[in-house]
Chains A and B, each alone.
Chain A
Amino acid sequence: MFHLQGITKIYRKRSQEVIAFRTDLLDIAKGEYVAVVGPSGSGKTTLLSLLGGMLSPDSGQVMFDGQSLYDLPLNTRTKLRRDRIGFVFQTFNLVPYLSALENVQIPLYLAGIAPAEQRDRAVALLEQVGLANRLDHKPCELSTGQQQRVALARTLANNPLLILADEPTGNLDPESREAILSMFDGFIRDGRTIVMVTHDPAAAARASRRLRLIDGSLDASDSISDAA
């Protein structure tokens, strides 16, 4: 699915340069469950942004299903992200003034789906994550676990093949954490690919492959593949 070659991403601030991420070669296959671990500031989120088509590298190529992601025009890249990539955020990033139902409708609206169909699909997705009785609740009226489930329903709205998750269990209680990780297991069984940034060793252990990042570079010795 992903083929990263000769990638360097540098942040410049006040004439100082920091290498946020660097790799000579990184492949992520379709259906893989990859956990990216490492200390804060090691470049985990930069990697996630590069994979999501939101942060162009200073050098190298990010190939996504055979296409050079950053050679695509901005709008095409946005459309590709909308149709094929789903995001899960640590703080859920729900729109606070919209109901659970409306939050799930957002990606469907962005995909140009008619309002009636948006609603039907959003209701079905919220039922799928066990929130059929919370359709009209605003995020502030939901528990953190319920908010993350709304966010997951939103992620699944356009049936993405790839899920990029940024600390998806970071703000959750053990019970909600387990529920979310079980859903991730289900996504893998459905044939989706997951790249998950996490600090949580237990969550990382559920992945089929773990990438350790230190100072922007992949530590090859820690790249463990359960499948292998």
Chain B
Amino acid sequence: MNLRTLVWRELSERPSAMLTSTLAILLGVTALVAIRHVTVFSEREVGQQLQSLGANVLVLPKAATLQDYYSADLTSQTLPESHVSSILLANLPGVERLSPKLCVAAKVGDRAVTLTGILPQSEFQAKAVWQSVSLFSNKHDGCKKAACGPKTYDGAPEALATERTIDQLKGNEAIIGADVAEFSKLKPGKSVEVLGESLQVLAVLPRTGTVDDGRVFAHLHTVQRMTNAGEVVNAIEVMGCCEDAAGGLVPSLTALLPDAKVVTISQVVSTQVGINRLMSQMSLFVLSILVIVGGASVASTISSNVRERRREVGTLMALGATPGLVTRMFLFKALALGLVGGIGGCALGLVVAMLLGSQWAGVTVTPLPDLLLIAIAAALAVTTLAAYWPARSAARLDPCSCFSDV
């Protein structure tokens, strides 16, 4: 017999009495953990996008709506492909590369994929020679980059995942996303059947966690031909040399292409930044709910437990239990509730965040140990503080209550 046995026996014998307060703690921790996990990963995602895509500008059809950079080209609206030439001919300062895209829904086997037409960089070089223009050589004012203009990119086709452009891609070749490769069991060198045409797999992209994992990339002109779309694109990605260039490119591109919408990554993620801010505030609100509702519920449960156990406490005191031990007994009970609620809430919150993270914020959530420990500590702190006064009142109970009448 020890304190743990004494408390555990009661809790295991009558779990329903403690269920309500455990549930209040559990739900509070669940909400806190779920919201914070999604927020943290969403903030990381935004930060990553700003860092890797900060220099990029998107040219989109005027009517296009935009929520996610990676899926910006998934729109039914189109732009004339001639805009690509317009940008190239304008030789705007700070532009390093262009990547026009055309997307259509397609199937590989039974699975839906996005067939995306892209234009390899070799086509621009050919176009530049053909049109007698210098390719992306115009440095913008105050550019701090040592060398502007077309740099030597990683020639491997897999670099498309990070560089967002590719140097070489033939008309009968395709590059497939990680998900497509997984479900269709395709490898480089094999053929993939899309829209009734066979394309040779040039490479499989590494997993990115974005919509790119479900794409089949092919030459832009091949996709235009396969879909009879004509010389159009859904979006033109303009890669600037640096973030300073991106800011300066927006007014130039807007003036050059008045029928198009020109946005920077900062504008794309501004909604997500707002949502993240809201979720951060929401998590503070949930924390206050956890403290108020969870704390009140635990205080009420322990208070009624003290009232119910009045005679039992009196008996323990008659048998030699000190007030300190009686206090510890009720605090231990509250700690057990906090631990169950905290651990259960963390597990449930994590499951919710992992399941809904991609839907809420388009992010993949993995456990954050520090956050989980903080959530459990918060649950324990709330329950202990809430139970302190009822536990103290138990310690002040009249030991004579052990007798049947006074």
Contact = CB atoms under 8 A, between A and B. Distances in A.
Interface residues of A, number: 39
Contacts of B322: 74-75, 78-79
Given A105-B1, A108-B1, A110-B320, A95 B404 contact: no
Nearest to B315: A93
Given A83-B320, A102-B1, A46 B402 contact: no
Given A49-B406, A93-B315, A102-B5, A74 B323 contact: yes
A106 B1 contact: yes
Interface stretch (B8-16, B75-83, B250-258): B8-16
A95 B400 CA distance: 16
A52 interface: yes
Contacts of A166: 403-404
A107 interface: yes
A109 B13 CA distance: 21
B359 interface: no
Nearest to A114: B2
B399 interface: yes
A93 B313 CA distance: 10
A75 B395 CA distance: 12
Interface stretch (A24-32, A84-92, A184-192): A84-92
B318 A45 contact: no
Contacts of B9: 97-98, 102
B399 A167 contact: no
A45 B320 CA distance: 19
Contacts of A79: 320, 322
A152 B323 CA distance: 24
A54 interface: yes
Contacts of B311: 93
B317 interface: yes
Contacts of A169: none
A137 to B, nearest CB: 14
A78 B322 CA distance: 6
A170 B13 CA distance: 29
A19 interface: no
Contacts of B2: 109, 115
B318 A87 contact: yes
A91 B404 contact: yes
B241 to A, nearest CB: 74
Given A105-B1, A106-B1, A115-B2, A95 B319 contact: no
Contact of B403 (A48, A98, A158): A48
Contacts of B66: none
Q: Which one of B1, B14, B405 has the highest number of Cβ atoms from chain A below 10 Å of its Cβ?
A: B1
A183 B400 CA distance: 25
Contacts of A45: 400, 403-406
Given A102-B5, A108-B1, A52 B404 contact: no
A5 B342 CA distance: 56
Interface class of chain B by DSSP: helix
Contacts of B296: none
B319 A106 contact: yes
B14 A54 contact: no
B400 A82 contact: no
Nearest to B319: A107
B292 interface: no
A120 B315 CA distance: 23
A54 B400 contact: yes
Contacts of A54: 317-318, 398-400
Contacts of B405: 40, 45
B318 A106 contact: no
A205 interface: no
B325 interface: yes
Interface string B2-29: 1001100110011000000000000000
A111 B1 contact: no
Q: Counting chain A CB atoms within 10 Å of each CB, which of B9, B14, B311, B406 scores highest?
A: B406
Contacts of B10: 97
B316 interface: yes
B112 interface: no
B95 to A, nearest CB: 77
A95 B312 contact: yes
Contacts of B403: 45, 48-49, 89-90, 166
A154 B13 CA distance: 22
A20 B311 CA distance: 21
B320 to A, nearest CB: 2
Interface string B166-201: 000000000000000000000000000000000000
Contacts of A109: 1-2, 6
A81 interface: yes
Contact of A55 (B319, B323, B324, B400): B400
B344 to A, nearest CB: 23
Contacts of B399: 49, 52, 54
B321 interface: yes
Interface centre among B315, B317, B322 (most CB of A within 10 A): B315
A89 B5 contact: no
Interface of A: 20, 40, 45-46, 48-49, 52, 54-55, 74-75, 78-79, 81-83, 87, 89-91, 93, 95-98, 102, 105-111, 115, 118, 154, 158, 166-167
12 contacts: A45-B406, A49-B399, A54-B398, A55-B398, A74-B323, A75-B323, A79-B322, A81-B319, A93-B311, A97-B13, A97-B14, A110-B321
